[in-house]
Amino acid sequence: MSDTTAPAMRRLCFEIFRFNPEDPNSKPHTQVFELDETPYMSLYMALSQIRETQDPGLQFDFACRSAICGSCAMMVNGRPALACRTLTADLPETVRLYPLPVFKLVGDLSVDTGIWFRQMAERTESWVHSQLPFDPQATEQRMEDDLAEAIYDADRCIECGSCVAACGMANINSEFLAAAGLNRVARFMLDPRDARSNADWFEVVSSEQGVFGCLGLMACEDVCPKELPLLEVYAYLRRHLLGAQLLRRAAGKTSS
């Protein structure tokens, strides 16, 4: 006879970072909350229950609960993860929650990723650059399926900031574009509607703030909730930008 007894639910201990940067009397500290685990409980559900029953002032972000908006990313036992996607059953009984590093702290587990992503978009000029005059009668040109899929793949980034938080270089260099920024660059480099050349992109991402500043540890790919092929993105960028640099040097020798 098969055992149909339901597994015993655990008593979970949550050690949560608390700090309100707007309150001069607030000091960074951790606060412990205990909660009975329920079947299929996610971190989002656990935090919501803590806020509803124990501390209504607990700050954390959420919107979609479907791993689409990227709002609920936080450090879970030292690793960036989405709270809505992380099940407590996959975690030990003690769960340590901290806000993502690199980004501006709003309070407790809430950070402002919007400032970082806006600055990144402005630096990389994340829009299609075209030298053609606007034609309201123009028809959409068909794109090869493989190319369209590659662009769509890069566009799957939900801007949760997990890759930035996991990046060693981003944690010590606030100007580093990190995987999210470099993935954005690759997306527009792939797009045939964008008129920028490899030489143009070289000026944007060739320094230590761009693709050549990467340490190569690839923690970004390990923690990406959408499993973007970030290693392939880095290889693509380096290959094209090194080619652009060789052409620049060859042109310099010819002119001299």
Measured in degrees and rounded to the nearest 5, phi and psi for residue 147 equal -70, -45
Phi-psi region of 156 (alpha: psi -120 to 50; beta: other; left: phi over 0): alpha
Global pTM?
0.87
Quick check: 87 pLDDT over 90? yes
Compute CA distances 194 → 9, 80, 88, 188, whole Å.
54, 33, 44, 7
Give pLDDT tens digits for 147-176.
Answer: 999 999 999 999 999 999 999 999 999 999
Give the domains, in start order, of the chain with CATH numbers.
11-98 (3.10.20.30), 113-129+143-255 (1.10.1060.10)
Residue 238's contacts (CB-CB under 8 Å, 6 or more residues apart) are 211, 212
At residue 248, the pLDDT reads: 58
At residue 255, the pLDDT reads: 56
Q: What angle do CA 207, 212, 218 make, to 5 degrees?
A: 140
At residue 247, the pLDDT reads: 56
At residue 204, the pLDDT reads: 82
Give pLDDT tens digits for 229-250.
Answer: 999 999 999 888 876 665 555 5
CA–CA distance, 199 with 244 (Å, rounded to integer): 5
Give pLDDT tens digits for 27-42.
Answer: 999 999 999 999 999 9
Is residue 167 a contact partner of residue 232, using CB atoms and an 8 Å limit? no
CA–CA distance, 169 with 178 (Å, rounded to integer): 8
DSSP letters spanning 48-109: HHHHHHT-TT-----S-SSSSS-TTEEEETTEEEETTT-BGGGS-SEEEEE--SSSEEEETT
pLDDT band at 201 (very low <50, low <70, confident <90, very high): confident
Quick check: 141 pLDDT over 80? no
At residue 7, the pLDDT reads: 58
Beta-bridge mates of residue 79? 76
